[in-house]
Amino acid sequence: MAANETGTSSYLVLARKYRPQDFSTLIGQDAMVRTLTNAFKANRIAHAFMLTGVRGVGKTTTARILARALNYADESGPHPTLDLEKEGTHCRAIIESRHVDVVEMDAASHTGIDDIREIIDSTRYGPVSAPYKIFIIDEVHMLSKSAFNGLLKTLEEPPPYVKFIFATTEIRKVPVTILSRCQRFDLRRVPADTLTTYLGGILEKEGIGYEADALSLVVRAGEGSVRDALSLLDQAIAHGGGKIDAEAVRSMLGLADRAIGLDMFEALMKGEIEKALEALRAQYDAGADPVTVISDLANITHLVTRLKVVPRAAEDPGLTPDERDRGGEFAKKLGIRILSRAWQMLLKGLQEVQTAPDPLAAAEMVLIRIAHASDLPSPDELIEKLNAEPHGSAQGVAHGATPAMAGHAQAPSGPSASYRGGASLARQPAPSSAPQAQAGPQLSSFTDLVALARDKREILLQHALEAQVSPVSFETGRIEVALTPDADPNIIQALSARLKEWTGRTWMISVSSSAPITTIKQQHEAKRQAEIDEARQDPVVRKVFDLFPGARLVDIRPYAVSAEAENEMDPGNPPEADPGLDDFQEDD
């Protein structure tokens, strides 16, 4: 506090009051401090430094501390050091930005060559009282091209008593010719746990009570920037009347209630759209922006995904207890595919909400899409479930699959689709203006029927014909088949409806109970196994197995040889290996 002329006290914001004065109080930049400490001890101090990082991580503060370290002097005389616990002769003037030999320039407002020419001219004269003349140029990327070019020669070969310290948030805009002449330090975002401890210490010094959840909200909003976090902390103290609680911080930041956001996420993953819409309306009525709500849902989706792939992420001190506990629970129940799909839909929906004339309506449509998609299995899941559950005990996809929270927790294990009730296959043919007697595709064999199903993209029917149906007899208009024990009985009804739709005529399909069952899939598997057994007897293959114990033959592929290549081959010198047998895999 400082008294002004009117006798009132002027308040000093926390970001200035607790600004680090030396490297011991600078948080989150241990790598840079360690490098500088070693350089000072070995007397290998560069003539130019480039400090880069996002806003508020301490670039300008570091530049001033570094200037103080370079110009440190005490009773024993001048000697650069990072041990600044005791103020030196020039320290106070440098801290207060009034030292004649430490020149600070804001490149955002001094961008031209004339400003740089003044610096170049002043380098001809030595320092007045300090060991070094130091130039601190903030936001150096704002300098013009001519200003950068004018600085090059002096920056490369400055007088021995001159040091340059540059700071920038846009390192990519700085020419490489400048970067190559500087020792670069990347100041990192301050970790959440370090920032939480730092802010908690400041609040204890100020004698202000706070809730842990409230501090977590401030740290998250600060995004690793110490200055931003301190500014928000100042605002939170004023908003809460001297005490910081989570509800007040949430209201101040315009954030949706995190617990309600988690409830909404759970409702969406369960397909409970009415509950999700009610939660959205409640947050909207409380003042939350629909864009913020969708953004929070995306953040929750990312959190759950991260907890699923990196369970140790739950130890992050920036997480609230609700996020840690419920997020871990969601991570156990939800699969990566479900989370990835929700993430993509939320990102797309966020753009829609930002540009929509009615953001609330757009946000509701986003939630409806996500809740609807929670019931839909992916194509891979559908095929896997068909292979795993051939008994037809599942509900049809058209009637809705198991919601994400219940049936997509891990690898697909619940029901998703079958032919029960003809839900996915036995739909009625669409009305057509063409005559009913119009000629359709000609089918002369059961193989033609399977090929037609594939051409019509009826994947479920094709799979059933290959794996569950054994042809007995086939002629135009009449088919006799045998069904495997695990075949769905509704497949006959579905096949009859499809044939009438495709060919324009009614087919008689009968089921034989005495005919032997040999499906197309079984035939293919038997043929493939026979080829593998035959290949294993090949001398070359047997030699490979002798050389690689534990290897196994996993595939056989045809190898086409052109006529020219075949003519060029020496018949007396056959190849050493069969080129068609190229896939071997060693067992662990």
Which position has the higher pLDDT, 101 or 493?
Answer: 101
Indicate the pLDDT class of residue 570, thresholds 50, 70 and 90.
low
pLDDT in the model for residue 507: 85
The rounded distance, in Å, linking the Cα atoms of 389 and 468 is: 12
One DSSP character per residue, 42-85 reads TT---SEEEEE-STTSSHHHHHHHHHHHHT-EETTEE---S--S
Indicate the pLDDT class of residue 245, thresholds 50, 70 and 90.
confident
Which position has the higher pLDDT, 26 or 382?
Answer: 26
Give the strand pairing for 77-78 and 478-483.
unpaired
As to burial, measured by CB atoms within 10 angstroms (0-12 exposed, 13-18 middle, 19+ buried), residue 377 is: buried
Which residue type sits at 246?
Answer: A
Indicate the pLDDT class of residue 165, thresholds 50, 70 and 90.
very high
What are the residues facing 9 on neighbouring strands?
3
Tell me the percentage of the chain whose pLDDT exceeds 90. 24
Indicate the pLDDT class of residue 461, thresholds 50, 70 and 90.
confident
pLDDT in the model for residue 567: 54
pLDDT in the model for residue 100: 92
Determine the average pLDDT of the residues in 165-174.
93
Q: Is 440 helix (H, G, I), strand (E, B) or coil?
A: coil
pLDDT for residue 539 is more than 60? yes
Q: What topology does CATH give the domain 446-519? A: GMP Synthetase; Chain A, domain 3 (3.30.300)
Token representation of residue 165: 């310290």
Q: 446-519: same fold as 10-186? A: no
pLDDT in the model for residue 413: 39
Which residue type sits at 318?
Answer: G
pLDDT for residue 5 is more than 50? no
pLDDT in the model for residue 172: 92
Indicate the pLDDT class of residue 173, thresholds 50, 70 and 90.
very high
Determine the average pLDDT of the residues in 549-560.
74
**pLDDT tens per residue across span 284-295:** 887 778 998 899
The rounded distance, in Å, linking the Cα atoms of 99 and 55 is: 25
- Residue 308 has φ and ψ, to the nearest 5°, of -75, -45
CA angle at 34 for the pair 29 and 38, rounded to the nearest 5° = 155
Determine the average pLDDT of the residues in 254-280.
83
Lowest mean pLDDT among 190-199, 346-355, 405-414: 405-414
pLDDT for residue 136 is more than 90? yes
The CATH architecture to which 258-373 belongs is Up-down Bundle (1.20)
Lowest mean pLDDT among 54-63, 357-366, 444-453, 561-570: 561-570
The rounded distance, in Å, linking the Cα atoms of 268 and 273 is: 6
Quickly tell me which residue has 């045809």 as its tokens: 558
The rounded distance, in Å, linking the Cα atoms of 60 and 104 is: 10
pLDDT in the model for residue 440: 62
Determine the average pLDDT of the residues in 250-268.
77
The CATH architecture to which 10-186 belongs is 3-Layer(aba) Sandwich (3.40)
Determine the average pLDDT of the residues in 299-304.
91
Task: Please give the sequence-ordered ranges of beta strands (E in DSSP) within 169-323, or none if there are none.
Answer: 183-186, 209-210, 243-244
Q: Which residues contact 432 (CB under 8 A, 6 or more apart)?
A: none
Which position has the higher pLDDT, 34 or 462?
Answer: 34
As to burial, measured by CB atoms within 10 angstroms (0-12 exposed, 13-18 middle, 19+ buried), residue 518 is: middle
pLDDT for residue 437 is more than 70? no
Token representation of residue 8: 């009132």
Which residue type sits at 529?
Answer: Q
pLDDT in the model for residue 581: 41
Helix 290-309 to helix 273-285 angle (10° resolution) is: 130
pLDDT for residue 569 is more than 70? no
Token representation of residue 422: 């003809």
Determine the average pLDDT of the residues in 165-190.
92
Which residue type sits at 92?
Answer: R
Q: Among the ranges 308-312, 387-391, 404-408, 415-419, which has the highest mean pLDDT value?
A: 308-312
Residue ranges covered by each domain of the chain: 10-186, 192-253, 258-373, 379-418, 446-519, 537-586
DSSP 319: S
**Summary mean pLDDT of the chain:** 80
Helices (H), 356-388: 359-373, 379-388
pLDDT in the model for residue 407: 44
Q: What topology does CATH give the domain 192-253? A: Helicase, Ruva Protein; domain 3 (1.10.8)
CB of 364 within 8 A of CB of 358?
no
CB of 390 within 8 A of CB of 485?
no
**pLDDT tens per residue across span 327-357:** 888 888 888 888 988 999 999 999 999 999 9
**pLDDT tens per residue across span 204-217:** 988 888 888 888 88
Helices (H), 144-211: 145-156, 176-179, 192-206
Lowest mean pLDDT among 143-157, 201-215, 477-491: 477-491
pLDDT in the model for residue 536: 81
pLDDT in the model for residue 415: 35
Lowest mean pLDDT among 107-111, 240-244, 377-381: 377-381
Indicate the pLDDT class of residue 183, thresholds 50, 70 and 90.
very high
What own/partner pairs with CB < 8 Å and gap ≥ 24 does 10-15 have?
13/230, 13/231, 13/234, 14/202, 14/206, 14/230, 14/231, 14/233, 14/234, 15/226, 15/227, 15/230, 15/231, 15/234
As to burial, measured by CB atoms within 10 angstroms (0-12 exposed, 13-18 middle, 19+ buried), residue 469 is: buried
Give the strand pairing for 133-138 and 162-168.
parallel
Determine the average pLDDT of the residues in 274-303.
88
Determine the average pLDDT of the residues in 154-176.
92
pLDDT in the model for residue 361: 93
CA angle at 408 for the pair 402 and 414, rounded to the nearest 5° = 55
CB of 222 within 8 A of CB of 214?
no
Indicate the pLDDT class of residue 367, thresholds 50, 70 and 90.
very high
Cα 527 from chain centroid?
45
The rounded distance, in Å, linking the Cα atoms of 268 and 152 is: 58
Lowest mean pLDDT among 383-387, 555-559, 565-569: 565-569
CB of 353 within 8 A of CB of 339?
no
CB of 70 within 8 A of CB of 134?
yes
The rounded distance, in Å, linking the Cα atoms of 286 and 240 is: 18
